[in-house]
Amino acid sequence: MWDVSADNSAQGGNGPSIAETGEFGLIRQITGHGATTASGEPVVVPEVLQGPGDDCAVLQFSGPVVSTTDALVEGVHFRRDWSSATEVGRKAAAVNLADVEAMGARPIALLVAFAAPSDLPLKWATDCSDGLRTEASEAGAVVVGGDVTRSAEVMISVTALGELAGPPVLRSGAQPGQVIAIRGLLGWAAAGLVVLSRGFRSPRAVVEAQKVPRVPYGAGVQAAAAGAGAMIDVSDGLLADLGHIARASQVVCNVDSEALPVPESLQAVSSATGISPQRLLLTGGEDHSLVATFDPGRVPAEWQVIGTVGERTSEPGVRVDGAVWEGAQGYQHFRQ
């Protein structure tokens, strides 16, 4: 793990660059201290028997393991002039940890591949690594290893591992008559992107939500324990991601727009930009909240019911107040 391919030519920059530091110096910097909680306590994950330092990490699970991978690319998922290195690291961890939560699993460990230009300041790389560890600790997980290499732009690819206490919560498990519920934010990250794209930094709450998703850690296990039928994290937009559940389950998901109140910060962005708050709520991505289906009366505390699951059909999809949503339902890579 942490095998390195890098150009050691000096490029200058703000403080020593990763090239000036050297391959193994960089490795020592990013693996030199363990994860700690917000209060400074070390994060101990019993399933991790051996972390960074050897060719592989060693983990021992007592139940089924879930795994997922997401890559964050500079200029596509983040900009260094918008976000700090710590924020980028936290986001890279959060988007993967949210997928583990969406399966009803408990996050355990992260493997990280980090690619960057040779002239990237060493401090940026170490701050990013700190962000990854910080976000992982929020979920009760740790970084156990990875790889670094050279690239034209910064790229961070994270593999997250989690453990199931029971069956996974799949997208294909929504049942007619169930209710649809959400846990977490909707539209905040999209509003933050709108604000940043126009050169502003407020409302601060939505800007911060764009930089670092507020994943509802623990809610996935909570939903699984409550018998959730299907679940997914909202990465591309509520309608787009509910569409995955609808198609996998062969049902129609009906969203009640009145069940989605407009927060003051989204209303402010809407008033300033002319973008409807409903569009932000229904199609905005990157919040990484969780949306799931439950039997009536079994929705866990803090989850908000926003709709219902209709009958099985050969034409599955999502409806808003009984009608098809006109326009894009969310973000699609390679088309936007």
Q: Which residues are annotated as a binding site for ATP?
A: 146-147, 171, 235
> What are 279's two structure tokens?
């569009």
User: Hey, what are 203's tokens?
Assistant: 């409302």
Q: What are phi and psi of 124, to 5 degrees?
A: -65, -45
d(CA 62, CA 172): 25
248: three-class secondary structure by DSSP = helix
Which residue in 250, 100, 89 sits closest to 175, CA to CA?
Answer: 250
Q: Which of 85, 70, 91 is nearest to 286 (CA)?
A: 91
C-alpha distances (whole Å) from 247 to each of 78, 233, 253 are 30, 16, 10
String of DSSP letters for 283-313: H------EEEEE-TT-PPTT-EEEEEEEEE-
* Residues tagged in the binding site annotation for substrate: 77, 286, 331
Binding residues for Mg(2+): 55, 68-70, 99, 147, 233, 236
- Binding site as annotated, residues: 55, 68-70, 77, 99, 146-147, 171, 233, 235-236, 286, 331
